[in-house]
Amino acid sequence: MRKIFLWSFLSGFALFTGSNYPVLAAGGGYTVTDIQRMGLQANGLLQAVRSQVEIARAEVTSASAFPNPEVTFMAGPDSKRLPEIDTGPASMQRQVTVSQSLENPFVRRARIGAAEAGVEASRANLEQARADLAAQLRVHIYEFLLRRGLAEMESDIHDLMGEIQRRIKLSVESGETARFELIRADTEVMTAASRKEAALLNTERARIALLQLTAGALPPEFNVTASLGDPVELPSLEALRVELSTVNPEILRLEAEQNRAHLRIDQERASVLPSVNILYSNYQDKQFTSNTAGLSVRIPLFYQRRGEVDAAVSDAARVRETLDYRRYEINRLLESAWQAMEIARRRVEMFEGGIVKEAEAALRVAEAAFRLGERGFIEVLDTQRVLRNARSELLQAQFELQSAAAEIDRLRAHYPKE
């Protein structure tokens, strides 16, 4: 009876481990692209970054505005200091003065250009935020699939261990099996229950992380129609290097900031030129009306904005050095992500084409030896644990492959548009 039970258990367990663990539930659900679009539309932090673009556009409007004229009005009575026979009766006087500054065209052009460069920098910053969020969503989606696949595997193992425990208990009660076997079975059930509980909690944590990133746009019990085995298709490394220099948001942002810094230098240097105001004044009292016009010129004789110019030059040097370093660093990040992807791809190929198959073959050999009485149940169970570990490593390698591809897409700002 004991051997019949063990043989039935091993056949069922081998069938379970020999199949691919499903990582998605039956029925419809959300694709990876759907969830990314929902997150890009609903995430509040991304909306805040989008507002920075509108602020930068408003600054262009401010920079393009012409200076307003200044109007000064003064009025008051005359006070007599001599007899009225000499001065005549007292009267009221009033004066209106209008001042209009003539803006330096070089300053104006540089100021508007700097504001427009700020818009480009804000757009690139928004693009970077979108790419970062899309990559986070993709990684968290596949982490959710990984955790769910591991939870399903551990749940099935727990159910099988429970069935073993029940049957061994019957064998112990009938005297066919020593009580030591039941103690072993109890230990296996408790270990499997602990792994199952941890896997379920990790799955729920991954689900909550996705709900957080999508700002609650996903329903609480959502389903994902994707698999850890989804194909990863990317251009060649050389093509990615060429593409990166023209599409990476951080490089584009730093280039816009560099342009803005250079325009700020032009603005500060142009500010050294004399500034001119046109003046017009109308004066009236009881006897006279006077209209006068003139110019007010501010001459930079003592201070020629040397501090502001030097600060602008230093800021431009800072941006240039940052841009050069980030170009180098981003290319290294691309190569690192590419190597990680290739390593993960080779691990997937090794597990799918070699390690898992060898573990399955080892299990079949152990089963045959058990049927012939040459091996005990513990040896077969140990072989089964090796197969389970191999399949867990396969799921982890598939997840690492998807994560590396997500990092490459983040660097190249490749994501589904909103």
Tell me the sheet residues that pair with 418.
none
Q: Is residue 285 domain-resident?
A: no
- How many angstroms separate the CA atoms of 36 and 258, rounded? 32
Burial class (CB in 10 A: 0-12, 13-18, 19+), 172: middle
Q: Is residue 276 domain-resident?
A: no
Q: Is the pTM of this model over 0.75?
A: yes
367: nearest Cα among 3, 2, 1, 37: 3
357: nearest Cα among 400, 390, 383: 390
Q: Is residue 355 domain-resident?
A: yes
Q: Tens digits of per-residue pLDDT, 190-203? A: 888 898 899 999 99
Mean pLDDT for the stretch of residues 305-326: 93
Q: Is residue 103 domain-resident?
A: no
pLDDT given for residue 367 in this prediction: 61
Residue 320 · residue 366 · CB < 8 Å: no
pLDDT given for residue 383 in this prediction: 73
Domain harbouring 332, CATH code? 1.20.1600.10
Q: For the chain, give the longest Cα–Cα distance.
A: 144
Structure tokens, 282: 């109308």
Q: Is residue 382 domain-resident?
A: yes
Q: Is residue 266 domain-resident?
A: no
If pLDDT is split at 50, 70 and 90, which confidence band does 187 have? confident
Q: Tens digits of per-residue pLDDT, 84-143? A: 666 666 678 899 999 999 888 999 999 999 999 999 999 999 999 999 999 999 999 999
pLDDT given for residue 404 in this prediction: 95
Containing structural domain, residue 241: 2-65+112-254+328-411
Mean pLDDT score across all residues of the chain: 83
- Report the amino acid identity of residue 118: G
Q: Tens digits of per-residue pLDDT, 45-97? A: 888 888 999 999 999 999 999 999 999 999 888 776 667 666 666 678 899 99
Q: Is residue 73 domain-resident?
A: no
| Ramachandran angles phi, psi of 337, nearest 5° | -65, -35
- Per-residue pLDDT at 387 exceeds 60: yes
Q: Is residue 376 domain-resident?
A: yes
Helix (H, G, I), strand (E, B) or coil at 29: coil
Counted domains in the chain: 1
Q: Tens digits of per-residue pLDDT, 245-289? A: 899 999 999 999 999 999 999 999 988 888 899 999 998 877 788
- Per-residue pLDDT at 41 exceeds 50: yes
Burial class (CB in 10 A: 0-12, 13-18, 19+), 125: buried
